[in-house]
Amino acid sequence: MRFALSLSAVFVIATFAAGGLSWLFVSQELSRRLQTDVQSAAGALAGIAEAGDRTDLSEQITAQARAVRDGATLYAFVDGETGKITGSLQLAAPFEGAKQLSPDRDFPPPLSSGRPHEDPYLAYGIRTPLGWVIVAHDTQGIVETGEIMVRATGAATVAALILSLGLALVIARRTGARIGRMESVLDAIGNGNLARRIGDTGNDDLADLARRVDLMLDRLQRSIAAIRQVSTDVAHDLRAPLARLRMRLEPHALSPAVPGAIRAEIGQALEDIDGISATFDAILRLSRLESGTAEARSETVNLTALTQSVHDILEPAANDMGHSLMLDSGPGNVTVTGDQDLLMQALVNLVDNALRHCPPPARVTLSLREGPHGPTLAVTDDGPGIPAADRARVLDRFVRLDASRTVPGSGLGLSLVAAIARHHGARMSLTDNHPGLRVSLSFRQSAQDLTSG
């Protein structure tokens, strides 16, 4: 909109400036021609004076003055000996050369159509042996021409203002829509939807910029896909060797023939192997969700029962860690359409994150609310929380903040939850719980709405 107003202002200023310059040049040219005319007329009368015939000069001036009845042109002969003025121009004092005269101030104004002249006169005086010969002509024509040009400039300015505003608004709307699409795509890319593209088909600079952004996003998506594929391939290829290694170590951990200290070390190694296997499983599951190859079910999921189950499963572990796990699910059953196993995985990850990253004793609450646009699952705690600047990047793979380096984990828990949320069309948000962190999954509509819609 600012561009539209600026463009309109430029049009108006340009039109106004063109009209002003035209008025200036035309006025100057008309004044120059009028000055030439009065100078020529005065020169012709001065030629008679040069001949020394005072009577002839007076008669010529009187005849010229009588011939002009509208007072547009005035003539005067000021006798050099007596000071007597002959003609229609009654000046207080004669002069030589060009001069602009004003009625009332320099001479009594003549009448035109019953009204006295108000416009100034351009005059030229020549001193001769007999006296001064002066001819003056009014500038009414110049003034009227100027008034016409001012009205024309005003009308052109209004027309330019209307046209430029209309054109600028059309351009601004089209450009605003295209920029809005670019912003929408970039926001989607920032939220992890790397498949979005601008797709501008125009042929201007903005379209060229959009095509360059799309090409950059193509390269970025291929690079990220390659990196993810590498981690997926590594996880897939190492699962089987880890499983065989576990099978080989497990009998020794249980064998009474092995010294106790060695069995303890083997047991610790088995726990590490389980942790690595769990990380690889998370990588593979996350990859399948992001690639759309996950075999997810579409069924009616009772979120009320699901939250109750997660609470019952994790409450003992929370108590052992010195925390309290609360459930706030409200009355009635709340349902969505989705995959129950994936949604349980998401809730377990969120509660497990809160339990592991909050120093005891912490209060962790698992809540479920049915809103006007759909249900919302939330896990809140009163722990240290996550700084606002880091809340977006903790959803990326393997991102672990410095404060959580000492806590066991792979940096994949929230990434998996975000992928599950996207898979169900839910919006995942991390906000401040004052104190602590609130992680919520907002579903767009319930299963009942899906069925009726």
* Segment 34-71, tens digit of pLDDT: 999 999 999 999 998 888 888 888 898 889 888 887 88
The number of folded domains in the chain is: 3
Q: What is the mean pLDDT of residues 145-157?
A: 87
Q: Which segment, 114-118, 177-181, 331-335, is predicted with the most confidence on average?
A: 177-181
Across the strands, what pairs with 268?
none
Quickly tell me which residue has 């998401």 as its tokens.
346
The whole model's pTM is what?
0.47
Q: Which segment, 39-48, 102-111, 328-337, 404-413, is predicted with the most confidence on average?
A: 39-48
pLDDT at position 4:
67
Lowest mean pLDDT among 106-120, 140-154, 309-323, 371-385: 106-120
pLDDT in tens, 189-236: 876 677 889 888 888 888 899 999 999 989 888 887 777 777 677 777
pLDDT category of residue 258 using cuts at 50, 70 and 90: confident
Domain identity same for 237 and 349 = no
pLDDT in tens, 384-435: 888 888 888 888 877 777 666 666 666 778 888 888 888 888 999 999 999 9
User: What contacts 9, CB < 8 A, 6 or more positions away?
Assistant: none
pLDDT category of residue 446 using cuts at 50, 70 and 90: very low
Domain identity same for 279 and 304 = no
pLDDT category of residue 436 using cuts at 50, 70 and 90: very high
Picking from 248, 268, 291, the residue at the C-terminal end of a domain is 291
Which residue would you say has higher pLDDT here, 436 or 156?
Answer: 436
Picking from 230, 258, 291, the residue at the C-terminal end of a domain is 291
pLDDT at position 295:
62
Residue 188 lies inside a defined structural domain of this protein? no
* Average pLDDT for the chain: 85
Domain identity same for 239 and 340 = no
Report the amino acid identity of residue 323.
H
Cα torsion 394, 230, 417, 281 to 10°: value is -130
Lowest mean pLDDT among 114-118, 320-324, 347-351: 114-118
Which residue would you say has higher pLDDT here, 446 or 25?
Answer: 25
pLDDT category of residue 450 using cuts at 50, 70 and 90: very low
Domain identity same for 110 and 211 = no
Task: Read off the CATH number of the domain in which 413 is found.
Answer: 3.30.565.10
Return the percentage of the chain with pLDDT > 90, whole number.
27
Task: Read off the CATH number of the domain in which 250 is found.
Answer: 1.10.287
pLDDT at 449 over 80: no
- For residue 103, the 8-state DSSP code is B
Picking from 143, 159, 188, the residue at the C-terminal end of a domain is 143
Task: Write out the residue range of the structural domain in which residue 13 sits.
Answer: 1-143
pLDDT at position 321:
92
With beta carbons less than 8 A apart as the criterion, state whether 385 and 371 touch: no
**Which ranges of 292-429 would DSSP assign to H, the alpha helix?**
303-320, 340-357, 413-423
pLDDT at 171 over 90: no
Residue 231 lies inside a defined structural domain of this protein? yes
Residue 22 lies inside a defined structural domain of this protein? yes
User: What contacts 260, CB < 8 A, 6 or more positions away?
Assistant: none
CA-CA distance, 346 to 333, in Å (whole number)? 19
Q: What is the mean pLDDT of residues 288-308?
A: 78
Q: Which of 399, 368, 367, 369 is nearest to 386 (CA)?
A: 399
Q: Is 203 left (phi over 0), alpha (psi -120 to 50) or beta?
A: alpha
On the CB side of 351, CA atoms within 13 Å amount to 30
pLDDT category of residue 293 using cuts at 50, 70 and 90: low
Domain identity same for 30 and 90 = yes
Task: Read off the CATH number of the domain in which 120 is found.
Answer: 3.30.450
The DSSP H or E segment spanning 141 is helix 140-190
- For residue 359, the 8-state DSSP code is P
Tokens read off for 447: 């299963």
pLDDT category of residue 311 using cuts at 50, 70 and 90: very high
Domain identity same for 246 and 128 = no
Return the percentage of the chain with pLDDT > 70, whole number.
91
CA-CA distance, 422 to 237, in Å (whole number)? 27
CB-based contacts of 83-91 (< 8 A; 24+ apart in sequence): 86/58, 86/61, 86/62, 87/61, 87/62, 89/123, 89/134, 89/136, 91/134
